[in-house]
Chains A and B, each alone.
Chain A
């Protein structure tokens, strides 16, 4: 199905609806519904939250990371966020910092991350993959080349932490033009006025950061998260996923009551860390992560039942 991004979306009945953007028609690009759109359409129809799992590309080594990635959909991941390791992850807590360091130490690069997605796509053409990371490795790779190859290997969306709306010309606009979703973070500091700026050019879904803080920290006020999701939903038809600080199936069940997606990252990369023997992958590394994804995704899925 063809539709205009940020103008027209698809609701659970498959009817076209208008997205209330600040300047709806301007800059719109005709684009295909992505795997992300289709997945959220499906979970909406099933009246449940999507489970979004974050793992780090190349952690703890390329082969094990491949095995982890390949098993995520069967374990219950509806959407996969794949971290692009970076030496200076300013918005990440210790767990994800260490995951990135393990990956880099094992020789991971942006080029290899794209190759990893290509291998995954050979067996799975349904599960959306969102690459998440920081801008510099992409900038150095070359934006044009990166966007083109990302589309070719089957990446669906991008989350780039240090590219706010003010820097849209860098990557967001070229990515949208190529048919990738550009998913933006909104945070407790994003007020209604600011939200318009943030939602403009956002597509796929909106990622609500549950707190002012870094990944892996504690959610201080769960009720406030619910209110914030409602507030964002009154400004957009896009699905709203919540992440940062969700660690247990209980958390996932609670957040999944009102959010369209529940994102877990630090807990999963911590499971990788715990499974290591003398810093190297063990026979249990991939299965430990998959077991945790099963438990967490069950939490997200039973939220509304």
Chain B
């Protein structure tokens, strides 16, 4: 693991929870004492060997880590350029990287004596991961999910219910992830004494972005060890998709101070950036603002009203992004690129056909960018994609988009 250097990009956040100008604690006063407590509890946990060993144990025996690093041989051959590896977060228990974060936060919630868990979810993967850890630790769980997403991610809704969670459809706004997050915040303000808000991505008020990143860092740390073993060197490029940015920051973090590693984040380009409400690419199509507890890049109109994002993928249509990504964008360390719905669909099918792996539509956005990069790179170069989740939840909606008969 690389050490933190003087000019390191890995020094954030500062004491105020800022990454440069981004991040912070823009929350109602009711929540302030709680997020200060949370920060204290997190600092204590970070140093507590018992917490760390419990995490390790759960990662190994419950989540099934480390997740494999897989050489995508046929796609590599097909694209005719750089060697492509997949970091198989789809093989993580519950089918995505989301569990990594939930394991850490549920242990914290227990340490803080909280007796009820709430969460927001878009694709339902974070909802499922949260419902799973709540079942495992015997805590009641309420998941807020936009009504539109409830429709397009039915299998995950059923999984959550079976795991014992209450799923509350949110009809405000467009009924997607941002509205679910508003509603979760309203619940939290109301039940602040008993309730722990288990945020599913590296966004929200400090300390969430830092905490979620730290619980996801394991992805990048494993990639480093695994690629060293496979190839004896670091990759030339890393790619991950960006919703709020948790799988991406988890993948990137360990490599931020490695100048030889190019880093790409694939945002949801939806129908294309030229339609104002037709995408969810907050960093390539938005500008800085304040929402959900942090300053970051946001999709918004000229009056500062937030615009609903669009993406074929329910996990990427959030109009914001975690503050550390906003910082990495402005510092130019990471290249953020938009990927359209159609490009993602093509990548989804390519992965399924050539590798026998059905990826989540979110992850397919990352893969679509890999498919642009690989042919441009020499055959001795290496790209690692974070395949953040599996696509079982998406087969029905992809089938519909592609007009496949049942």
Which chain A residues have a beta carbon within 8 Å of chain B's beta carbons?
Answer: 86-93, 97, 104, 109-111, 134-141, 161-167, 184-191, 194, 198, 209, 212-214, 217
Q: Which residues of A contact B182 (CB under 8 A)?
A: 88-90
Bound-state Cα–Cα, A91 to B290, Å = 15
Residue in B closest to A207 when the chains form the complex, CB atoms: B29
Q: Which residues of A contact B32 (CB under 8 A)?
A: 164-166, 189-190, 194
A212 touches B290 (CB 8 A): no
Q: Which residues of A contact B33 (CB under 8 A)?
A: 189-191, 194
Take A167-B25, A187-B30 as given contacts and tell me if A162 and B303 are in contact as well, using a CB distance cutoff of 8 Å: no
Contact for B293 among A86, A97, A111, A162, CB less than 8 A: A162
Contact for B305 among A86, A90, A163, A213, CB less than 8 A: A86
Tell me if B129 is interfacial: C-beta within 8 Å of chain A: no
B189 touches A109 (CB 8 A): no
Bound-state Cα–Cα, A277 to B29, Å = 37
The stretch among B57-65, B111-119, B190-198, B254-262 that forms the contact with chain A is B190-198
30 A-B pairs with CB atoms under 8 Å apart are A86-B305, A87-B305, A87-B306, A88-B291, A90-B189, A91-B185, A91-B186, A135-B290, A136-B289, A136-B298, A136-B300, A137-B303, A139-B295, A140-B303, A141-B303, A141-B304, A162-B28, A164-B25, A164-B26, A166-B16, A167-B26, A185-B29, A188-B30, A189-B29, A189-B30, A189-B192, A212-B30, A213-B189, A214-B189, A217-B190
Bound-state Cα–Cα, A275 to B152, Å = 37
Residues B74-130 near A (CB distance < 8 A): none
Residues B19-66 near A (CB distance < 8 A): 24-34
Q: Which residues of A contact B178 (CB under 8 A)?
A: 88
Take A88-B178, A139-B289, A213-B189 as given contacts and tell me if A198 and B24 are in contact as well, using a CB distance cutoff of 8 Å: no
How far apart are A185's CB and chain B's nearest CB, in angstroms?
5
In addition to A185-B30, A188-B30, A190-B32, 15 A-B residue pairs with Cβ atoms within 8 Å of each other are: A91-B28, A110-B304, A136-B298, A137-B305, A139-B289, A140-B289, A140-B300, A162-B26, A162-B27, A162-B293, A167-B24, A185-B29, A189-B32, A212-B30, A212-B191
Contact for A140 among B173, B292, B302, CB less than 8 A: B302
A91 touches B304 (CB 8 A): no
Bound-state Cα–Cα, A97 to B173, Å = 10
Q: Which residues of B contact A140 (CB under 8 A)?
A: 289, 300, 302-304
Bound-state Cα–Cα, A213 to B188, Å = 8
B29 touches A186 (CB 8 A): yes
Q: Which residues of A contact B190 (CB under 8 A)?
A: 212-214, 217
Tell me if B162 is interfacial: C-beta within 8 Å of chain A: no
A88 touches B186 (CB 8 A): no
Q: Which residues of B contact A213 (CB under 8 A)?
A: 189-190
Bound-state Cα–Cα, A194 to B178, Å = 30
Tell me if B172 is interfacial: C-beta within 8 Å of chain A: yes
How far apart are A169's CB and chain B's nearest CB, in angstroms?
9
A109 touches B28 (CB 8 A): no
Residue in A closest to B178 when the chains form the complex, CB atoms: A88
Take A86-B305, A164-B25, A212-B191 as given contacts and tell me if A136 and B290 are in contact as well, using a CB distance cutoff of 8 Å: yes
B29 touches A190 (CB 8 A): yes
B29 touches A198 (CB 8 A): yes
Bound-state Cα–Cα, A110 to B302, Å = 10
B28 touches A185 (CB 8 A): yes
Bound-state Cα–Cα, A194 to B27, Å = 15
Bound-state Cα–Cα, A135 to B289, Å = 9
Residue from the set A89, A91, A136, A167 with the largest chain B CB neighbour count within 10 Å: A136
Bound-state Cα–Cα, A292 to B304, Å = 32
How far apart are A115's CB and chain B's nearest CB, in angstroms?
13
Residue in A closest to B303 when the chains form the complex, CB atoms: A109
Residue from the set B16, B32, B293, B298 with the largest chain A CB neighbour count within 10 Å: B32
